[in-house]
Amino acid sequence: MNPAIKLVKTEILSDNWYVLKKFTVEHTKRNGQVDTYNRESYDRGNGAAILLYDPQARTVLLTRQFRLPTYVNGNPTGMLVEVCAGLLDKDSPAECIRREVEEETGYAVKEVTKIMELYMSPGSVTELLYFFVGEYTKDSKISQGGGVDDEEIEVIEMPFATALAMIASGEIKDAKTIILLQHAALHHLM
């Protein structure tokens, strides 16, 4: 633990969907001065995301779904184009992403390759996101997909070049998706 940081008080502000906490922090700076301040942190658990790609067809599988936070922040439809992703829910990152691929896209992937771990919004969210890539083929399709429970996920197969162009045009605004598409371009996955 960091000896310059002392958590003085922790309060739960909300435990509705996930947990929002308020922390009172004492921070001893390098000059010895101690500052006390409050910060909030949202804990929704850790997650995993994957870029599904077919190197022969030069296509990728993406999803489109409604995201309330984008809607209330100016996205007129609230719909986002994204890579397949989900929360770990006590699974390992690799087990999680295989489960999410089947639930969301209807495809089964045999091998997934972890490429990195990133904090996506470390100023306010605790989530650590595990990034994967995995190949799919037409023969990998085992069900309709679309998600579970109240999810209404549209599966989109598109040329890799089209997905890259959608970053430039602003049609893809999701950070994890942009990171994975750019990884695929930089590492010549197709």
In a 3-state reduction of DSSP, which class is residue 10? strand
Q: Residue 182's CB: how many other CB atoms inside 10 A?
A: 13
% of the chain exceeding 90 in pLDDT: 93
Domains of the chain, CATH where assigned: 5-43 (no CATH), 47-186 (3.90.79.10)
pLDDT (tens digit, 9 = 90+) per residue, 19-60?
Answer: 999 999 999 999 999 999 999 999 999 999 999 999 999 999
pLDDT exceeds cutoff 80 at 149: no
pLDDT (tens digit, 9 = 90+) per residue, 54-84?
Answer: 999 999 999 999 999 999 999 999 999 999 9
Q: Residue 144 phi/psi, 5° resolution?
A: -70, -30
% of the chain exceeding 70 in pLDDT: 100
Rounded alpha-carbon distances, angstroms, from residue 181 to 112, 122, 152, 159, 188: 15, 22, 23, 12, 10
Question: What is the model's pLDDT at position 146?
Answer: 82
pLDDT exceeds cutoff 80 at 158: yes
Q: Angle at which helices 175-186 and 160-169 pack, to 10 degrees?
A: 130
pLDDT (tens digit, 9 = 90+) per residue, 133-145?
Answer: 999 999 999 998 8
pTM above 0.85, yes or no: yes
Report how far residue 73's alpha carbon sits from residue 45's, in angstroms, rounded to the nearest whole number: 23
Sign of the torsion formed by the C-alpha atoms of 114, 90, 69 and 155: positive
Question: What is the model's pLDDT at position 148?
Answer: 76
Q: Which residues, 6+ apart, have CB-to-CB distance to 59 below 8 Å?
A: 53, 157, 158, 159, 160
Average pLDDT over residues 100-111: 95
pLDDT exceeds cutoff 80 at 176: yes
More confident residue, 127 or 145: 127
pLDDT exceeds cutoff 80 at 94: yes
Average per-residue pLDDT in the chain?
Answer: 96
Radius of gyration of the chain (CA): 19
Question: What is the model's pLDDT at position 151?
Answer: 79
